[in-house]
Amino acid sequence: IFFMLFDIFQIHFVYPPFRVQFISHAVYNFNRNSMKKLKYTLIALLVLCMTGCNESSFLEEDPRASLYPENLLVDYSGFQSMVTSLYGMMRNEYRRADALGGGLPLVLHSAWGCGVDNSWSNNSHSDFKYMYYPSQINQTDLQIFQNIFQWCYRIINTANMVISRAEGSGIDWKGTETEAAAHKNKIIAQARFFRAWAYRHLTYSFGTVPLSTEEITGMNYRNDWERNSVESIREVMEQDFAFAMNNLPLREESNSKISGAMARHYLGELYLAMDQPSKAVEVLKPLAEGSEYSLITNRFGKNSANPGCPFIDVFRTPMYADGNTEVLYAFVNTEPENSAFGTAEVYMKSTYKNYYSNDGVINKSNKYDPDYTSGAATWPQVFWINNGGKGAGRCVPSRGAFRLYNYKDQGTQDDRISDYAVVWTINEKGADGKITEFLNNGKMVVDTTVTAAMLDDNKTTIKKYNWPTTRKWDYVAPLLANGDKDGCYQDIVYLRLADTYLLYAEALLKNNQAGEAIKWINKVRNRSNAVSITETELTAGGVDFILDERSRELLSEEERRHTLIRVSQEKGGDERDVNNYFKRRMRQLNEIAGREARGMNSYDTPVLFPIPQEFIDSNTGRQLVQDEMKCA
C-alpha cells in the first residue's frame, strides 16, 4: 500500500528539463494495468477515510500529499525507499526508449551501443537514423536525445535530494551510533554513485552540460543554466565515485545492488578519461586482482545441461545466488505469471537480435511444427520459441565486428563467435518434434552478404533480416502464447568483471606496463578459447588492440560510443577529427555507417549529441548555443 500511495501522490517540480519525479513504477515497476484498478480502490478508501474523520482533527494534521519528502525522508527506511527509486530509474537504460515518451521501439542503451564501429541500425526510424547515417546526428529535436537528457537529470535531481536531506537533523538512522553513521554513509554513497553515473552518460553524450549538485526546490528555481566544462563535472564525479567506493563493500550480498566494485570500475574509467592511467591502475587493481570476483571458466548454472560454453553461461545465469562470480551488476526480472505485483520488462533481446521472421526465405521455416499445424500457436510464436525469442532487428553487428574475431586466422575457434553466442543458423522443428537446421536449397540462410541495396545512400532504411546477431540476450517465453512478445524477463547482465579486466589492461598499457597488460587480456581471450597474444603484438596494436578486444568480448554490452569518444578525446583530442579512433574505426569496420558519403570522413559531422532544443528554449535566463565541436 505504501508504494501504491507513492504512485498516487506524485510530486513534480517542473523546471524543464530539471524535473524531480517520485514515481512508484520507478521503484518496483508495477504493471500499470493492474495498478490502475488498485489506484481507484485506494483513492476511494482515502476519500472514505477523509469523510469519516473528525474535521477539526484532520485539519490539524500534516498534509501528506504535498509534503511527501518531508514525511518520507525522516528515517533510514524512508531513505532506502528513495534510493530504490534511483535503482528503478537506472534500469530504464535497458527498457524501451518510449518509457520516457516518443514511441521509440528500442532500448536507450542502443543510443550508445549502435551507430558505432561494431554496430549499425537495421531498421527505419527518424530518431535513430544517425545510427546508420551518422551525419544525421545534428537534429536537435530528436526524441531520443531529449529522453536521455531528461532521464539523466531526473536521476541527478533525485540523488541531489537524497544527499541534501541526508545531512538534515533529527533523522532516525537506526541502530547504535556506529551503525547509524554507517547507514547514513551507505545511503549517501549510493546516491552519489547514481549522480556520477548519470553525469558519465551526459558528458560522453553531450560534452559540456549544466552541473547541478543541489536539490531543486521552489526556492532555488533558475532558468539561467550554463554548460559547465567537462573537467569541472569530472571533479565532482571523481569525488562521488571515490565516496561510493570507500563506503560500499567491494562485493554486496546480491549483485542487484550497487557495490564498491562498480564504483571502482567507473572511477578507473574516469581516471583514464582524465589522462591519469597510474590512478586508474591503483583504483582497479583491488577489483581485478582481488578474490571477490573471478571469470567464469567452467560450465555452470541453469544452462550447463545444454550445449554451450562458459562465456554464454554467464548471460544465462547472471546472479551471485546461482553461482555467478563474474557479473558485478545485474537487473532482476520475473515473468508476469510469476508475480502478483507486476513486472519490469527489458528489451535488449528485441533491440539487438535480428527480425529473422521477416525474411522472405526464413519465414518459410517451422511450418511443420506440431504446435503450428495443430493450431495451438501462430507461426511467429512457434518460430521465436524455437529460435531463442523474438528479435526486432533494431541494431546488428557490423561485418567488421565479425572480422575482428578472426585475429591471427583462428577462424571460429573463439567461443564468442560460435553458434552458442551468435545466430548463424535458424532452427526448424519438424512434424516429429525434432529440431534441425533450416536450409534453403541446401545453403544456410543467415550470412553477411552486403547487397547493393545496403550500400544505397539514398535509401531510408536497410532491413537486412538474415544478418547474424548476438545471442547474449536470448530469452524463450515460458508460455507459448507469449512466444512473439518483444520484452523479456530474465535476469540480465549489466556489468562484468571481463570489462574491468580490459579496462585494467588499458590502464596498464598506458602506464607503460604492457607486459602486465597482456596477462589480463589473455585471461579474457583464453576463457573463450581465443589464442593468446604477446607483448610485442599488444605494443604494436596499442589502444586499437584494446578496442578490438573490447568489441570481441563486450559486443552489445558496453556503451561503445562512450568508449570511442573517451579514447578520441585523450590528451585534449578532438572527437570530430577524421583520423581519431571514432571516425577512423567507423570507416575501417562499419560497412554501412562508416561510408564516406554518410559523414565519417568529414570534420563537419558531429560525434557528440546536440543539446536538446527543448532545454535551450526553456533556459530563458541565459542564451545557450550548440557546440558539439569540443567536449571541454
pLDDT tens by residue, 249-273 = 999 999 999 999 999 999 999 999 9
- Bridge partners (DSSP) of residue 443 are 440
DSSP E strands: which ranges in 256-412? 327-331, 395-397
Q: Tell me the mean pLDDT in the region 290-304.
A: 96
Over 80: is that where the pLDDT of 57 sits?
no
Of 247-251, 454-458, 480-484, give the lowest mean pLDDT range: 454-458
Over 70: is that where the pLDDT of 166 sits?
yes
Q: Tell me the mean pLDDT in the region 268-292.
A: 98
Burial 604-618 (b: 16+ CB within 10 A, else e): ebbbbbbbbbbbbee
Q: Are strands 435-437 and 427-429 parallel, antiparallel or unpaired?
A: antiparallel
Q: What's the maximum distance between 2 C-alpha atoms anywhere in the chain?
A: 84
Angle at CA of residue 149, ends 145 and 152, nearest 5°: 135
Report which DSSP code applies to 483.
T
Q: Tell me the mean pLDDT in the region 432-436.
A: 97
Range 196-199, long-range pairs (CB < 8 A, 24+ positions): 196/236, 196/237, 196/240, 196/241, 196/244, 196/266, 196/270, 197/90, 197/155, 197/266, 198/152, 198/153, 198/155, 198/156, 198/159, 199/152, 199/156, 199/233, 199/236, 199/237
What is the distance between the alpha carbons of residues 221 and 513, in angstroms, rounded to a whole number?
50
State residue 339's pLDDT score: 63
Q: Tell me the mean pLDDT in the region 14-33.
A: 39
Q: How far apart are the first and last CA of the chain?
A: 47
State residue 45's pLDDT score: 37
DSSP E strands: which ranges in 33-125? 119-121
Angle at CA of residue 607, ends 231 and 18, nearest 5°: 60
Q: At what angle do helices 143-166 and 177-206 cross, to 10 degrees?
A: 160
In contact, 467 and 446? CB cutoff 8 Å: yes
Over 80: is that where the pLDDT of 326 sits?
yes
Residue 492, H or E segment = strand 492-496
Over 70: is that where the pLDDT of 632 sits?
no
Over 70: is that where the pLDDT of 24 sits?
no
Higher pLDDT, 444 or 99: 444
Over 80: is that where the pLDDT of 116 sits?
yes
What is the distance between the alpha carbons of residues 391 and 384, in angstroms, rounded to a whole number?
8
State residue 217's pLDDT score: 82
Mean pLDDT of the chain: 88
Q: pLDDT exceeding 90 applies to what percent of the chain?
A: 76
What is the distance between the alpha carbons of residues 243 and 534, in angstroms, rounded to a whole number?
37
What is the distance between the alpha carbons of residues 586 and 581, in angstroms, rounded to a whole number?
8
